[in-house]
Chains A and B, each alone.
Chain A
């Protein structure tokens, strides 16, 4: 079975400060990892993914994430937060070995960036 944990329901940062949204995962094989963002009453938008290769993945809107196999983590980061980054963020994992079709989503983390 595959699972994702986002340990923080809420993350608050001041505009201009760096932000981190945490994600840990569990899969039996090798993972595909994804980050999505959701604005109110909208669907999810893709931010970035890790498939293979460099552990540091760069994505949309200045976001990046680092894949850490030993810690089974895929934390989302941004060097300088914007108020417009305030949204709900979801981490997702897909086990390429045994359950290649479906993604499992974390419970989401609400990011609030204050001016």
Chain B
């Protein structure tokens, strides 16, 4: 159980276009979802935390208007990278968690974004 999927697994887009990444919890209801960015051989950088039905909470330094997060239901969160630039190229990972801080997070397989 506790499977999180991400789609797409990889995407190549041109500079200036927008890309949407979906994150779904397949067999549980995720009250909280997290979006991370990971650079090669580095740790995860938390971008934002989203709770179902409310606005996402962004970490300091993360542009809200550039990385749009929507958590419309207990099983789906989306991250839209707007007006993408090559520096946005990265590995994006979502994570979902049951209610309560003692629960572990379940991670999606990640999305490799390349902006040309």
A-to-B contact residues, CB < 8 Å: 32, 34, 36, 41-46, 49, 51, 90, 94, 96, 100-103, 105-108, 110
Contact = CB atoms under 8 A, between A and B. Distances in A.
Interface of B: 4, 6, 32, 34, 41-44, 46, 49, 91, 93, 95, 101-102, 104-110, 112
Given A41-B112, A90-B44, A101-B32, A96 B106 contact: no
A43 B43 contact: no
6 contacts: A43-B93, A44-B93, A44-B107, A51-B102, A100-B101, A101-B101
Contacts of B109: 42-43
Contacts of A41: 91, 110, 112
Contacts, number: 52
A43 B46 CA distance: 14
Given A105-B43, A105-B44, A32 B101 contact: yes
- The secondary-structure label for the interface of chain B is strand
Nearest to A49: B104
Contacts of B105: 34, 44, 46, 103
Determine which residue in B42, B104, B106 has the highest number of CB atoms from chain A within 10 A of its CB, and name it.
B104
B43 A45 contact: no
A107 B106 CA distance: 19
